[in-house]
Amino acid sequence: MVAFEPLSGIVTFVAVARAESFTQAGEQLGVSKSAVGKAVARLEERLGVKLFHRTTRRLSLTADGEAYFAVCARALEGISEAEGSLGARLAVPSGRLRIDMPAAFGRKVMLPILLDIGTAFPALQMTLTFSDNVIDLVEEGVDLAIRFGTLEDSSDLMARKLTSHRWVICATPEYLRQHGTPLSPVDIAGHRCIVGYRRGRPLAWHIEVDGQAARFAPPPTYQIGDGEAMVDAALAGIGLCQMPLALLRQYIDSGKLVTVLDVRTQRSIDVHAVWPRTAHLRPKVRHVVDTLVKLAKQGRLD
């Protein structure tokens, strides 16, 4: 028993750090809030440091807690990898897989594919989140993410290109009748625009200037932090919007939306599968990534 004392409470500590809540961590682990609190208190006593700042409204890691969490999270990940590589029997996708996706693309394109995978592999459990915010995969405990655009260099992440999407600027025919059709980026200054919103600021659009990729800041009339809501806003006829063509094609084909400035939006934006770097890619992650690559070649992600 003494030999295993150093491991006591680590799983609980990591769960609390990720959830930022004793109650939520207890629900995830299947134990009471009280049991979680006692486990963390015993761990703090054994280490001789405070791991969390506790207030009536918020729970957050101390500086010591952040350093300890980084080590513990990697250690638990390593244990999980070792278990996943023990034998061929474990090569079948199983266990919980946490996937984060852009809202509109995730719901429209990815969700049907992931549900098919879940049906084919009953032992695989999924936690799916749909958000247009870029999160820290390691910190949030996410196994796999789908990301648009150029990826930031990171020694902690691996990525696989899945496909490329052309981003188009569009509006309803009625909006264009009322406000006119922009013939150049300069014309957009006189329009109402629907733009993405992330980290407290509106997002720029992707265009081409003199044959080169560029970013353009349209009037941020409507700032919306959810891709699906942006599509709905465009269909409501309140302004111009830029989104991946794959999410708008059905509305463009039906005439509900009309593209503008097509000569300025011919370049495509890459779509990647991204996951935390590990010594051994776990079967559940490998299977989903391989499946997405295969389906991308068939055009299923377009």
Q: Six-digit token pair at 6? A: 């150093």
- Taking only the tens place, the pLDDT of each residue in 239-255 is 999 999 989 999 999 99
E runs forming strands in 89-156: 95-101, 124-130, 144-148
Question: Could you tell me if 151 and 272 are in contact, meaning their C-beta atoms sit under 8 angstroms apart?
Answer: yes
Q: What is the pLDDT of residue 216?
A: 92
pLDDT tens digits for range 169-220: 999 999 999 999 999 999 999 999 999 998 889 999 999 988 888 899 999 9
| Residue with the two structure tokens 């996708």 | 93
For 14-70, the pLDDT digits (tens) are 989 998 999 888 888 877 888 888 989 999 998 999 999 988 778 999 999 999 998
The predicted structure's pLDDT at residue 189? 93
9 strand-pairing partners: none
Domains along the chain with CATH numbers: 2-84 (1.10.10.10), 91-162+269-297 (3.40.190.10), 165-268 (3.40.190.10)
Closest CA to 165 of 293, 274, 272: 272
Convert 26-46 into a string of H (helix), E (strand) and C (coil).
HHHHCCCHHHHHHHHHHHHHH
Which residue matches tokens 């919980």? 96
Summary count for the chain: helices (H), strands (E): 11, 14
For residue 4, what pLDDT band results from cuts at 50, 70 and 90? Answer: very low
